[in-house]
Chains A and B, each alone.
Chain A
C-alpha cells in the first residue's frame, strides 16, 4: 500500500480492463515521473472524451454529433444493416472495405451469467429502424463465440419472419475469438462468404 494519492491512482488504474495490479503500479509511477505537459494532455483527452463523445441516435456507434459519420453519409446504402456488438467492431468491419451499408451496435451480447438479456441490448431500437421498410437485408456480425452466436440466433428467429434477408458472417473466423482481433483478410473473406439463414 502506498500513501493517499498514489494508492488512489493505482486503484483507479487497476479498475481498467486488462490492467492488473502490477501494471497499475507501473503506470502510476510512470505518470509520477512523467513530464507535466504529457500528463496534462492525457487528462484533457480523458475529460474531452467524456464531455464530447456520445452514442449515435440511430446506430449506437460512438460519435461527437447526434449522429455518427456513417449514418450521415448519403453514399452508404440504407437498405443493408450490419449488426455488431460493440463500436470497436464497426471499426473492424470498416477496415475490410467490404461493406457499404450501415451499422447497428447492440452494446453487448446475450449473457445470462452477466445478467444481460435482450432488453439490455439495443434490440428495440433495431426493430424501430426496420419498421420503416427501407431496410431489406440484415447481416448479423456478432462475435463468433457462444454468446455472440446465441445473440445472432435470437435475432435471426425474430427477423426472418419479418421477410428480411438475414445472413450470418460465414465461419473462417476463429471460433471463440473476438471479432476485433480477426485480421482483415479473414474477416473480409467471412463477409464475402456470409450465408443466408432463411432459405
Chain B
C-alpha cells in the first residue's frame, strides 16, 4: 500500500499543506524545526489515531486554531480510499472515509498501516514499560483493528475500577459506611474479560515477532549476539508460588518448538472465544484480583492486569535495559521496528486476506534516524528498507539520506513544501 496524497489543515505548524507522494522512496529535507516530523506524524495519526510524540491530541492542533484536519489518500490493491480525520480540542473527533462519515473514528484503523522509525524509539529499550506496552498494543491494532476497541474498553474499565477502589478506600478510612463495593465484582469481571484478551494478543504477537527481532538484530548489528523478547506479566507476581505456570519466559507458540510465526498471528485474528489461553488468563486475573482485593482498596489502584505488564528485551543473557550500550540499544530499537515491518508484510492469516486484500505492506517512515547511526548501521538499515513499497525519510541535510535511498525529494521550509526531485 502507499499514500498518494496527504493534506493538512491547522495541523501542528501547518495552516494548510498539500503533498503528492508516490511509491518508492521520498525524502523530506529541511533544517531543524521546519515541519518535517509534523508531516510524518500526520501519516502516523491516520494509521494509529495517536502521535508518537504526545499522549493527547491537543498539541496536534495548530496553536490558535480550534481543530485540525488530516486527509490522506491510501492506495491498496489499486483501490484508493480517502481518509479524513477532524481533530477537535476537548470534543470527540470525527472521521470520513471516501467522504462519508463513519460512526466511530476507530473505523478508519486498518486502512493505512505504517511502521515508523524515530529517535524516540530509543526509549523502547531504555525507557519505562509503558512505551513498550504501547509498542505491542499499537502493533496488535495494525494486525487486528478489532483490538483497538478492546484496548479502549480496557482503559475505560481501568479508570472506572480505580475510581471505585479509591472511593471505597476513602469510605473505609473515614467514619462513613463501606462505600459502594457492590459493583466491584462486576468491574473485576470486565477487567478480566478485556485484560485477558490484551495479554493473549500480546503473547501471540511476541511469539510471532520473536524470530523477526532476532533476525533483524543480527542483521543490523552485524551478527553481534542474540536478541530475545519475552512477556513479563503482573499475574506472575500476583500468583502464589508454584500455583500457576509462569507467564514470563517464551510464549508457547515458539517455546514448544512450533516455530511457526503465523501460527501466533492466527491466534490473534480469531475472536475472544477461541483465542487460546484467554479463558485461563481471565480466570487467573479474577483469582489475582480476589487475592489482592484488600491491598487494592487500601492503595486505590488496580494492581494486576496488562497495564502493569512489560515486554522484556534481552541481549545475550542480560537485560537490554541498564546493560546494553548506546549503540546496542539503538540496534535493538531498530530491530523491533524492522520486525514489526516484516511481520505486517508477511502476515497473511485468514482474516486479513479477505479484509485487507493482499497488499498489506505498511508504509515505512524513517524520521531522522540516519543521522543518529554510525555508517555501518546506516548502510545496513538502508539496504534493509530500500526495497519496501513506500518509504518516507526525513533528514536535515540531503547528505544524511543514504544513497541506497535516493528517490523523490521534497524540501520543507517554514511550513512550505517544494518538490525538488
Q: Spell out A's residues near B (CB within 8 Å).
A: 20, 22, 110-113, 115, 117-119, 145-147, 149-150, 153-154, 157, 174-177, 181
Contacts and interface: CB of A to CB of B under 8 A. Distances in A.
B187 A150 contact: yes
Given A112-B161, A149-B190, A153-B190, 14 more contacts: A112-B163, A112-B167, A117-B180, A117-B182, A117-B183, A146-B157, A150-B157, A153-B186, A157-B186, A174-B103, A176-B106, A176-B152, A176-B153, A181-B103
Contacts of A117: 180, 182-183
Nearest to B187: A150
B104 A174 contact: yes
Contacts of B163: 112-113
B91 A20 contact: yes
A175 B186 contact: no
B186 A112 contact: no
Interface in B153-206: 153, 156-157, 159-161, 163-164, 167, 180, 182-183, 185-187, 189-190
Nearest to A147: B160
Contact of B190 (A119, A150, A157): A150
B103 A110 contact: no
Contact of A177 (B66, B104, B182): B104
B350 interface: no
Contacts of B106: 176
Interface string B129-169: 00000000000000000000100110011011101100100
Given A22-B66, A146-B157, A176-B104, A112 B149 contact: no
A110 B104 contact: no
Contacts of B103: 174, 177, 181
Contacts of A110: 183, 186
Contact of B164 (A112, A154, A181): A112
B306 to A, nearest CB: 16
Nearest to A152: B186
Interface of B: 66, 91, 103-104, 106, 149, 152-153, 156-157, 159-161, 163-164, 167, 180, 182-183, 185-187, 189-190
A146 B156 contact: yes
A146 B66 CA distance: 29
A149 B187 CA distance: 10
Contacts, number: 59
Centre residue among A110, A146, A177 by max chain B CB count within 10 A: A146
Centre residue among B103, B163, B189, B190 by max chain A CB count within 10 A: B103
A118 B179 CA distance: 12
A175 B149 contact: yes
16 contacts: A110-B186, A115-B167, A117-B183, A118-B183, A146-B190, A150-B160, A150-B183, A150-B190, A153-B186, A153-B189, A157-B186, A174-B104, A176-B104, A176-B149, A177-B103, A177-B104
Nearest to B179: A117
A149 B104 CA distance: 18
Contacts of A175: 149, 153
A154 B66 CA distance: 40
A169 B108 CA distance: 26
Given A117-B183, A150-B190, A154-B186, A111 B160 contact: yes
A129 to B, nearest CB: 20
B186 A150 contact: yes
A146 B160 contact: yes
A113 B180 contact: no
Contacts of B182: 117-118, 154
Contact of B183 (A113, A145, A154): A154
A181 B101 CA distance: 13
B181 to A, nearest CB: 10
A123 to B, nearest CB: 11
Contacts of A113: 159-160, 163
A181 B94 CA distance: 15
Contacts of A118: 180, 182-183
Contacts of B167: 112, 115
Which 6 A-B pairs rank lowest in CB-CB distance, beginning with the nearest? A112-B164, A117-B180, A112-B163, A146-B156, A113-B163, A154-B186
A20 B90 CA distance: 10
